[in-house]
Structure 1
Amino acid sequence: MTKNRLRATLTSCLLSGLLFTGLSHAATPIEDLTVVVPYAPGGASDRAARIVSDSLHQKLGIPVVVENKTGAGGRIAAQYVKNTAADKNVLILANPAIMVVAPLVFNDIPYKPDSDFQAVSMVTEYGFGVAVSADSDIKTMDQLITWAKAHPGAFNIGVPATGSLPHFFGLMLSQQIGSKGEIIGYRGSAPVITDLIGGILPVAIDTLDVLTAQHQGKRIRILATSGSEREAALPDVPTLKQSGVELEASGWNAFFAPASMPADKVTQLGEAIKAVTSDPALQETLLKNELIPVSADAKETGARIEQFRQQWAPVIQASGFKVTQ
């Protein structure tokens, strides 16, 4: 090999490495990628998918297309991705409702998370808040616990949907504080907030992206959050653990590949996505969109999801909640 050809070859390899960082060891080069979002445009999952996909496109120099396939709470999208052929590069950005809750509450779903999918990369997480009306006399979690024990028949907890993560988090909270709350499922977050502000509901639990603006607008009061530390947007609100309640939990959004995708592609995509989500600029963009960034490769994501399953599955199963179709 001449020096010029050697130089050209090395230059080509270097450029390929720069363009396909994290994918350079794949047996078959990944020339394009489709990301399926199970929900409508504009929501938290969709925002996360598009922010990360845009960065992947810029970093890897390959087309990354985001497709929204809605319906059946994400199960239609999951079935679609499950059936993807091995030569297609398709990922789904899924959450616990699809990958953990659905198999436990539906008697028959068209996919099995453990055998039909492979974890690729967790990219965001989200916390929950315990809230009361801004006009409520309850100012702290201690006061809420005292009130709940004194008024067991009135301890109603509003959540945005029956069978949602806030629903099961409400059961966790009730168990932890030793007072059984009645979970009241609504059709969405808006009516929950309306009834909370109006004094019809004494307590509500929802995700923080829903509650934070209402708290900042002084229409509701978030008593505590579910994370390991205080939220940057809510420096005045303690965590549950800081309030004396030994409970910590969060939801997440993670990329999954169908079982048909070769393992080396899964590994390399996980590494590439972890690389882009580790970038401070992308993390800042996620935070501005009310999304908490997470950087995790395939192995780390699998471990996180298993930890989540171990915490939540017993609560879901003990509730006896089932969806009849």
Structure 2
Amino acid sequence: MAILFSRRKITAWCVAALASLAACGAFVPAHAENLDAPLVLVVGYAPGGSTDRMARLIAERLSPKLGVPVTVENRPGEGGRLAAKQIKRAPAGENVLMLGNPAVMVVAPLVFKDLGYDPDKDFVPVSQVSSYDFALAVGNKLQLDRAMFLVGRLWAHPEEAVFGVPATGSLPHFFGLMVGDALSVQPQIKGYGGSAPLAADLSGGSLPIAIDTMDSLYAQHVAGKIRILAVSGKKRASFAPNVPTFREAGMKIDADGWNTFFAPSTMPQPKVQLLATKIREVMQDPGLQKAADALYITPVVSTAAETAQMLKAYRQQWEPVVRRSGFAP
């Protein structure tokens, strides 16, 4: 016997079923172009740094595209790890992203035994938004203007291979070890309490050689207080076209750092994809790209899939270096 249902009753059942799916986070309309609540971009560092500045450039342009307020929230502590431990516990309905870097998502899991979060299980990569180079710089006391002159000096006097870095366990520290491998010298790494004291000693003459991020050293290079001999990118930085890469200087080495948005793994995939799409649109804005260049930051336009592939390749490059160093906090 055929059972007949009214069109009104069928429609009511369908609406109820869709509402139930949405309530448990399993359904987000494919055509959704806006969030249902404000978005918070969390930075695990104090205001004023390059990560913080990049987040704020993006926030003001992302808000109109999502139709909700987008704010930046600084949660400094433990070198960015505190923010990661907090974000991983975000409920599925919370609109929150973390702007992370390699120190938090690649290096920390290799050197801390009880980290408090798992980059692969607790987070989903959304979009890479910037990259930055490392720079090899010397003070004016050395009177060198080419990287190969420094290489020759270190080959003749390997005891002078003392590389100042902003902190032990930082990316510049491990990049310094990469440089040592490329030059066949064993560098001594001298850690400082940040980029400011490192740059002060370099320009003051008490430190002959330093490795730090390009944005941390470039202003002093322009002022003539130090000389950047090479940068680690595969191509010259757009804001520093006269500074050669390591490969152009004869050393087969390239590496970089990055800032990437991560969502807690509890966030529904359709929402992750929506955010990835909108962030990518923002990164294509010529105004943002110009503003990033002015901060000595290289903007990156990337999809979620491209970001995941970048992270995989990055770990393959850096994990052997970190493990071989034997560094422990």
Name the TM-score, length of structure 2 as normaliser. 0.88
1:181 aligns with 2:187: yes
What is the one-letter code of the residue matched to 1:297?
T
SS at match of 1:25: coil
Taking the aligned partners of 1:177 and 1:241, their CA distance within structure 2 comes to 12
1:250 aligns with 2:256: yes
SS at match of 1:285: helix
**Match of residue 36 from structure 1:** 42
Deviation digits for residues 16-52 of structure 1 (CA, Å, limit 9, x no counterpart): xxxxxxx972679522211111111111111111111
Residue 206 of structure 1: CA displacement?
A: 0.5
Taking the aligned partners of 1:94 and 1:27, their CA distance within structure 2 comes to 26
Preserved contact between residue 224 and residue 237 of structure 1 (Cα < 8 Å):
yes
Preserved contact between residue 215 and residue 296 of structure 2 (Cα < 8 Å):
yes
Long gaps (5+) in structure 1: 1-22
SS at match of 1:158: strand
Residue 188 of structure 1: CA displacement?
A: 0.8
Larger Rg: 2
Taking the aligned partners of 1:137 and 1:76, their CA distance within structure 2 comes to 43
1:25 aligns with 2:27: no
1:153 paired residue among 159, 164, 169: 159
Backbone CA RMSD of aligned residues:
1.5
Taking the aligned partners of 1:175 and 1:259, their CA distance within structure 2 comes to 37
- Displaced runs of 4 or more, over 3 A: 26-29
Preserved contact between residue 239 and residue 296 of structure 2 (Cα < 8 Å):
no
Q: How many residues were matched structurally?
A: 301
Taking the aligned partners of 1:40 and 1:131, their CA distance within structure 2 comes to 26
- Report percent identity of matched pairs: 48
Distance change (3 Å), C-alpha of 1:28 and 1:135: closer
1:68 paired residue among 52, 66, 74: 74
What is the one-letter code of the residue matched to 1:35?
L
SS at match of 1:306: helix
1:80 aligns with 2:86: yes
Trace 1:87-106 onto structure 2 (pairs within 5 A). Answer: 87-106=93-112
Which range moved further: 172-181 or 135-144? 135-144
1:122 aligns with 2:124: no
Long gaps (5+) in structure 2: 1-27
Preserved contact between residue 26 and residue 265 of structure 1 (Cα < 8 Å):
no
Taking the aligned partners of 1:253 and 1:43, their CA distance within structure 2 comes to 12
Taking the aligned partners of 2:91 and 2:321, their CA distance within structure 1 comes to 36
Preserved contact between residue 26 and residue 268 of structure 1 (Cα < 8 Å):
no
Name the TM-score, length of structure 1 as normaliser. 0.89
SS at match of 1:138: coil
Preserved contact between residue 101 and residue 260 of structure 2 (Cα < 8 Å):
yes
Residue 230 of structure 1: CA displacement?
A: 1.6
Taking the aligned partners of 2:286 and 2:131, their CA distance within structure 1 comes to 16
Distance change (3 Å), C-alpha of 1:115 and 1:282: same
Preserved contact between residue 34 and residue 67 of structure 2 (Cα < 8 Å):
no
2:283 paired residue among 254, 277, 281: 277
